[in-house]
Structure 1
Amino acid sequence: MTNPYSPTQWLQLSMQQQGLLQPFGSLPSLLQQLSYVQIDSINVVERAHHHVLHSRLPHYATSMLDEAMGDKTVFEYWSHAAAYLPMEDYRFSLYRKQQLQQGDKHWFEPEHKVMREVKARITAEGPLKASQFKHNADAKAGTWWDWKPAKKALEQLFMQGELMVAKRDKFQKVYDLTERVLPNHIDTTVPSDSEFARHLIKRYLVAHGFGNLQQIQYLRKGLKPLLTQALAQLCEQGDIARFTEPHTRQVYFYLPNLTLPSTIPNKVWLLNPFDNLVIQRQKLKQWFGFDYQIEVYVPEPKRQYGYYSLPILWRDRFVGRVDVKTDRKNQCLLLQQLHFEPGAFSAEESKNEVLSKESLSRDAFVPAFIEAINHYSQFNDCQRWQLVTCNDKAIGKMLHRACK
């Protein structure tokens, strides 16, 4: 079957499925749509998981995530990375937990004696953080991989499903026994191979609209045969459809009942580097022409765009990125490097025939960008923002005037 949509239309559909085009009424309903929100510890600005939710929920406050954990509508576990997930998907976390219980390895070899001691103490005393366990003063101190034995044990028990995260205390996990955290009504039946594969497929396609096998199994090992079989069955049953992308010859799957959004607002979204829409960099580059890489892990001399650059999505185009940092002492959001793509404001470069030259102008972009920056500044508890550098002189002048 031929591709039913253009790249621009696929981006519009992805934006719609990702909850960017319509406000969500609640955090649980949004998380259900997204399937997960990745947790990240970097805090040069507000943390990634809060930013992703802020981008989609009007009046989002970081306390809402704590409340959702307290209400037990959300839980922590591993998706392709550490994540918040909807509690109704809990039983599908049991698939990985069972594998670990049966000897599969996560990060390190289990130390069963320490695990028994750690679990016994939590059983007797209640919820505890890793910092509440004694550290052997003679143990080697070093990198993240040199965790003390108790912390390794806590994480292993968590990954195997014997412990859950009851809450976070200043970003530290507070662990408790699963039976004391998990609501009584939650189904704890371990899904079959087929159920788990279908769950991953449907969750991904609901959240993104379309994707190939590699994208659906993103950072999950050993699932290719199961997913291949489930995808074929779902296509045969008419639950999903497929097409072959002519340049790569890759088969893509999609939901057949999608409806294109009627309008795309003149709005700027400042997306987090770990945002669900941009986390799969190769798909972003191939389909939407945006070659994005987070440079947190790149040595400083080799960085092109800055430590923590946010992708800038304007209407239905990725037009640039901005490296941000909060000066918390002065309550100022620093736009350390604002960089626009070549042809970002050229109608000739646009794949959207509806947008005119005027609607793609800098004069149309700047007010929407200022609104997004103001909103993002407030979210970061900043009273003002400051542009440091910009590769577009005309926009730089307009923004310098706006931030005075």
Structure 2
Amino acid sequence: MTYSLSAAEARKLILHAQLLPAAKPAGKSLAATLSAIEHLGYIQIDTISAIQRAHHHTLWNRNPRYQQSQLNELVATGDVFEYWSHAAAYLPMKDYRYTLIRKHAIASGEQRHWYAPDKSLMKSVLRRITEEGPLMAKDFEYKGEKLGEWRSKPAKKALESLFMQGDLMISGRENFHKVYDLSERVLPSHINTSTPSQEEYARYLIRAYLQANGAGNADEIAYLRKNTKPLINTHLRNMVENQELLKIDINDKQYYAFPKSLDLLRKPLARSKLAILSPFDNLLIQRKRMQMLFDFDYLIECYLPEHKRQYGYFSLPILWNGNLVARMDCKADRKTSTLYIRHLAIESSLKNHDGFFEALGNTLPDFMRFNNCQQLQADKTTPASLLPQLIKLTQQ
């Protein structure tokens, strides 16, 4: 049996699964942050600092009481660790064993990450960390030319190779610089370190994706996970046959969901709450999915030459009333404690401008505090006729 959802129902299901807009979490803030990471499965790490970095931004949108120190604290307590999801990410420690598939493939040479491994240098680096304890890339002296696309010194490449194949883990960060240590010294003793079978791995990928996203298909679940789609397809069929999953039709395309996920459709969505999202938010990371299900065609433009940018260097998608309705290019100036809104572009589908600006006005003070800003300046809107409404918010 195949269930059918309208586009609006699908968006509601997805937003509830993504914990957006955030409800005020009960209990301690640190526990709420860990709960969000475990529910979403990963939080992407990014270095761009036009505003607060993406990993902090994504968690702040799920836990309004989030503090930036909490990620370091959760790494230190062994509840969270850094590794690769579809990109560099913080992952729940309880899922550690599912990273071993990639690690073994890299260690065996079956899969390559960024760098061709320098086995001799890797052995030397590993020996130093074994003998001296945790080290950073800067602890390895190198006066030669930095090579490659990322201009990395050889020891940094060796550290990353050892990290990717599982010999090293990140025990913490100092001023955002990674501190590397032996995996056995970082891993909590109770963590399962057995390598999952292919069936276990496929079922984990399916469960994790559908828990965090409400509905999905094999293309989405296998996103940037090489050679996993056939296995995922097989287990999706098996899980439907075993009544673990439902087939769902959305916009004439087949998706899968847990039966219990449809209960979320009976839960009200906080439509009046507005959320200013990171470009690397879990909701947004698969752009084709956003275009198909939210009719939102998004491209992050910081990687484009300035003359090719339509919306701005770092435009932030805005969620309101169950839809992605705008994008706002922002810059936090730490010296002057000013949040600059370079460009607020409203989607043509949004007609209730007054309601939107009221919701934006309610959200901006919290967003400014999150970015350690006390002043707000607005430069441009699209349509241009809406600039007076935005400027009015800067004067409140």
TM-score by shorter chain over 0.5: yes
Does the 8 A contact of 1:333 with 1:384 survive in 2?
Answer: yes
Q: How does 1:33-182 map to 2 (within 5 A)?
A: 33-104=39-110, 105-135=112-142, 137-141=143-147, 143-144=149-150, 146-182=151-187
Alignment of 1:201-212 (within 5 A): 201-212=206-217
Asked whether 1:285 is paired with 2:291, we answer: yes
Shift of 1:143: 3.7
Distance in 1 (alpha carbons) for counterparts of 2:269 and 2:334: 38
Counterpart Cα distance in 1 of 2:8 and 2:105: 40
SS of aligned partner of 1:369? helix
- Check the 8 A contact 1:332/1:382 in 2, yes or no: yes
Is 1:24–1:30's contact at 8 Å kept on the other side of the alignment? Answer: no
- Contact preservation (8 Å) 1:197, 1:227: yes
Q: Helix, strand or coil for the counterpart of 2:196? A: coil
Instruction: Describe the superposition over 1:237-279 as per-residue Cα deviations: whole angstroms up to 9, x where unpaired.
Output: 11111134564xx431112212212243311110100000011
1:183 and 2:188 matched:
yes
Q: Give the residue type in structure 1 aligned to 2:118.
A: E
Deviation readout 1:286-332 (Å, 9 max, x if unpaired): 11111111111111111100010000111201111000111111100
Secondary structure at the residue paired with 2:5?
coil
Q: Percent identity?
A: 44
Q: What are the equivalent positions in structure 2 for 1:377-388 lying under 5 Å apart?
A: 377-388=368-379
**Does the C-alpha gap of structure 1 residues 89 and 134 become closer, same or farther in structure 2, counting only changes over 3 Å?**
same
**Could you state the TM-score of these two structures normalised by the residue count of structure 2?**
0.94
- Which residue, out of 256, 260, 277, partners 2:259? 256
Which of 222, 227, 232 lines up with 1:222 in the alignment? 227
Q: Secondary structure at the match of 2:329?
A: strand
The 3-state SS of whatever aligns with 2:20 is coil
Give per-residue Cα distances to partners, 1:7-52, cap 9 Å, x unaligned: 1111111111111243345111111110100000001111000000
TM-score using structure 1 length: 0.92
Residue identity opposite 1:211 in structure 2: G
Counterpart of 2:259, as a letter, is: P
Note if 1:340 corresponds to 2:341.
no
Aligned length: 385
Partner of 2:302: 296
Residues 138-195 of structure 1 deviation map (CA, whole Å, 9 limit, x = unaligned): 3345640x42211111001111111000001111110000111100000001000000
**Aligned residue number for residue 24 of structure 2:** 23
Alpha carbons of structure 1 residues 393 and 304: separation in structure 2 relative to 1, 3 Å: closer
| Amino acid of the structure 2 residue aligned with 1:400 | I
1:331 aligns with 2:332: no
Q: Please state whether the residue corresponding to 1:322 is helix, strand or coil.
A: strand
Unaligned runs of 5+ in 1: 346-360
- Work out whether residues 366 and 395 of structure 1, in 8 Å CA contact, stay in contact via their aligned partners in 2: no
Match of 2:179, SS state, is: strand
- The one-letter amino acid of 2:11's match is L
Task: Please state how far the C-alpha of 1:401 moved relative to its aligned partner.
Answer: 2.1
Counterpart position of 1:352: none
In 2, distance between residues paired with 1:11 and 1:243? 13
Q: Does 1:399 align with 2:394?
A: no
Which residue identity is paired with 2:287?
Answer: R
Deviation string 1:111-164 (CA, Å, 9 cap, x unpaired) is 1110110011011111110111011x33345640x4221111100111111100
8 Å Cα contact 2:5/2:250 also seen in 1: no
**Is the partner of 1:257 in helix, strand or coil?**
helix
Q: Partner residue of 1:390? A: 381
What's the offset of the Cα at 1:394? 5.0
Q: Which residue of 1 aligns with 2:359?
A: 368
For residues 325 and 286 of structure 2, what CA distance do their matches in structure 1 show?
Answer: 18
Q: Distance in 2 between matches of 1:3 and 1:306?
A: 40
